Amino acid sequence: MRLTDISLRRLKPRSEQYAVLDDLLPNFGVRVGTTGKFSFFVLYRTNGRRKRDTLGQFPIISLAEARQLARQRLAKLILEDKNPHFTPTVDFADAAGDFLQLHCAVRNKPRTAGETERLLNRHWLPVLSRKTLQEISTQDVSHVLDSLLDTPCEAMHALAAIRKFFNWARQRRLLAHSPCEGLQLGIRSQPRTRVLSDGELVQVYQAAERCGYPYGNIVQLLLLTAQRRNEIASLRWDYINQEERVITLPPELVKNNREHKFVYGDTAAAVLENTPRIGDLLFPARGHDDRSFSGWSKSKRGLDGACGVEFTLHDLRRTWATRAADLGVHPWVIEAHLNHVSGVVSGVSAIYNRYSYLKEARAAVELLEGHFSKMMSSYR
């Protein structure tokens, strides 16, 4: 029908939502929801696929305003079709916000999306926020990266984040060419090889006990189970089988997107018993029962001061694996417990060999906890 203010108000909700197209402006219409909400939209094709953009709700925007927005949107699409090199002028800050909301929040795991947002906010927005995408040069990107050469890992992560952003912008035709094309850092991050000594492990564990819940409990479990930081911090009570002492992590929480089961021993069980039940999550963020612990930097500084040992949380995982190998645990058992896809059993073998080695891992965990108990006794 020809949409007018009168005909619009005569539309009534139904048991299912429905759409009405405007006779006056092709590809423009209104969608009527089951609750009576009216949303204006415009239809178009891109890359051979039909898409629909919502323009706004009535009466927040009027019919006349929505029709004008639709005309502008359709005119822009016509220009893009006639000129494949046409790109709109978009500010970096606006595009970065869309990238985080439309790409990272949808396609990435929460931890990856959060890390990308941190890198953009910390390194790129302060420098590029007042520029349009077309104004950003390779030199602008290089200048930021040059300032990070003292921290090679951070520089590499910052480059990965901005390169991913510009590739996304180019795919959405916000940009003809990425300023990161062909850009290389010229540095390599050296893999960490730090393994803590027995005495250092005791110092860290005792300091974590003094720090208490929640961060201290997290560190204790990291030291005892050798799992990844985010996996322990995101634990829920229903992941834990306390009778069999097995924790099952769902695929969406695991780095390799596969369900992961691992066992824990007496010492870890005692830590879990000392963890208060205040909701579904073992370690919720302060003031947010639905989010896992996030105060890593501040808590780590406090722990470092309490134990006097220089280390990263991932060093605890490497130390567990090294100590297990020293005690004679088979490499494939260690890899299974750590959930390493590219370990001893990998490639085609990993596809067909889905044995979890839980029995062998339980023996390894008991061996490691026994060794740890002796360490604690000898260093008291």
Indicate if 198-378 has the same CATH topology as 92-171.
no
DSSP letters of 127-187? HHTTSBGGG--HHHHHHHHHTTTTSHHHHHHHHHHHHHHHHHHHHTTS-SS-TTTT-----
- The CATH superfamily label for domain 5-82 reads Integrase, DNA-binding domain (3.30.160.390)
Segment 249-274 mean pLDDT: 91
Looking at residues 310-318, what average pLDDT do you find? Answer: 94
pLDDT at 166 over 60: yes
Give the domain ranges of the chain.
5-82, 92-171, 198-378
Give the residue with greater pLDDT, 328 vs 56: 328
For the ranges 29-33, 223-227, 268-272, the lowest mean pLDDT is seen at 29-33
Query: For 100, left (φ over 0), alpha (ψ -120 to 50), or beta?
Result: alpha
Q: Which CATH number fits domain 198-378: 3.40.50.2300, 2.40.160.20, 1.10.443.10, 3.90.79.10?
A: 1.10.443.10
The set of residues, in sequence order, having a beta carbon less than 8 Å from that of 76 and lying 6+ positions away, is 88
For residue 271, the model assigns a pLDDT of 96
Asked if the model's pLDDT at residue 104 lies above 70, the reply is yes
The CATH topology of domain 92-171 is: DNA polymerase; domain 1 (1.10.150)
Q: At residue 22, what are phi and psi to the nearest 5 degrees? A: -85, 130
Other CB atoms within 10 A of residue 88 CB: 14
DSSP bridge pairs for 8: none
Check: CB of residue 330 under 8 Å from CB of residue 252.
no
pLDDT of residue 356: 67
CA contacts within 13 A on the Cβ side of 13: 9
The Cα–Cα gap between 83 and 237 comes to: 56
pTM over 0.75: no
Helix H or strand E encompassing 116:
helix 110-119
